[in-house]
Amino acid sequence: AAAPAKAEEKPAEKPPQPAPERRLEEKAPGERPADRVNLAAAVPSAPKPDPIPGREIAPGVRELTFADGSIYRGAMRGASLHGRGEYVSKSFKYEGEFNEGLKQGEGTYVWENGDRFQGRFTADRPDGKGKYQFANGDAYEGDVQAGVINGRGSYTSRNGDVFEGSFLAGKPHGVGVYRFASGDRYEGEMQGGTMQGKGRYVAKNGDRVEGPFAAGRPQGKGTYYFSNGDRYEGDIQAGALTGQGAYFYSSGMKYEGETRLGQPQGKGTFWFLDGTRFEGDFENGLARAKGEIVKQDGSKVPAEIVDGNARLLN
């Protein structure tokens, strides 16, 4: 009986790359500098009017000039900014609703660097549903809590990667779907912007891996499905099929035993279609192995495998 010429190799650092851990470290949706994530600190309150008098520019609309040069045009209640108005300063511009001097309700806030938020404000901070458009080309749409990206939303990176799901403190956290510009896709749990927990990674070429993830890679007991119909079940270490596992080949043959970097390596057993099996030590997949053939009647004959071909030694 002849063994197949290959035990399907998988890339050593599955999921297919660019490496997920690098994507998430450098390009994960929502992973932004603190001054963009914690907008509570980045959205200053409008200063109280100084004694400089304002002027009415339309019925119910006044224009106020502040000591720092900022200008407000809009509705007022007594001495407070109240109603709809526009506030322009050197560092930001806000247009929307005010309540007793605070940004409250629907509005649009633009930072001096070009970042923009459009949505709900509460007590001077973005809070509720809204949209961020960042100057670097990234965009977010979804829940915001007290100036921080928290809750359900969708983050699109300028490179085309998109994450849809749960966010915490500005990073993907919880369950979601990560669609990479390369065509790969991850579905499952995230922690702090990293693939962590139970998940499934589907590559553009049709390969997929299901099981636990840690630090952005498959880790632990999992199942790898190859696009050609082969399947691996067993240990995965840092994205590599390494440890104890079993290969189920689309041809009907099977290997069970030690594996390393996606190939049979070490002690294992290979089953042929006729019911016989080879037991022995494997090197570099099926390139070389020494052991014995166990026939259907239980008798054993010394044998070896060279370049995928099995032969008896006596």
Task: Say what the pLDDT of residue 216 is.
Answer: 97
Instruction: Please determine, for residue 19, whether its predicted confidence score (pLDDT) is greater than 50.
Output: no
Contact 126, 115 (CB under 8 A): no
Q: Which of 14-18, 49-53, 97-101, 258-262 has the lowest mean pLDDT?
A: 14-18
Q: What share of the chain is helix, strand, coil (3-state, %, to 5)?
A: 5, 55, 40
In the numeric block, the tokens 């070009």 are attached to 114
Torsion over CA: 212, 214, 219, 224 (sign): positive
DSSP label at 286? T
| Mean pLDDT taken over the chain | 87
**What's the token pair of residue 300?**
């054993």
Element (DSSP H or E) covering residue 106: strand 102-111
CATH architecture of 30-147: Single Sheet (2.20)
Q: Which residues make Cβ contacts (< 8 Å) with residue 203, sequence separation at least 6?
A: 14, 15, 16, 183, 184
**What is the band of 137 on the pLDDT scale with cuts at 50, 70, 90?**
very high
63 pLDDT band, cuts 50/70/90, is very high
Q: Is the pLDDT of residue 7 over 90?
A: no
How high is the pLDDT of residue 314?
72
CA–CA separation, 9 and 120 (whole Å): 51
Q: What is the pLDDT of residue 42?
A: 52
Q: How far is CA 184 from the centre of its chain?
A: 11
Tokens in use for 260?
């390393």
Residue 8 has pLDDT above 90, yes or no: no
Identity (one letter) of the amino acid at 43?
V
Total-model pTM: 0.78
What's the pLDDT tens digit per position in 170-206?
Answer: 999 999 999 999 999 999 999 999 999 999 999 999 9
Confidence band for 108, pLDDT divided at 50, 70 and 90: very high
Query: Which pLDDT value is given to residue 157?
Result: 98
Tell me how long the chain is. 314
pLDDT digits (tens, 9 = 90+) for 65-82: 999 999 999 999 888 999
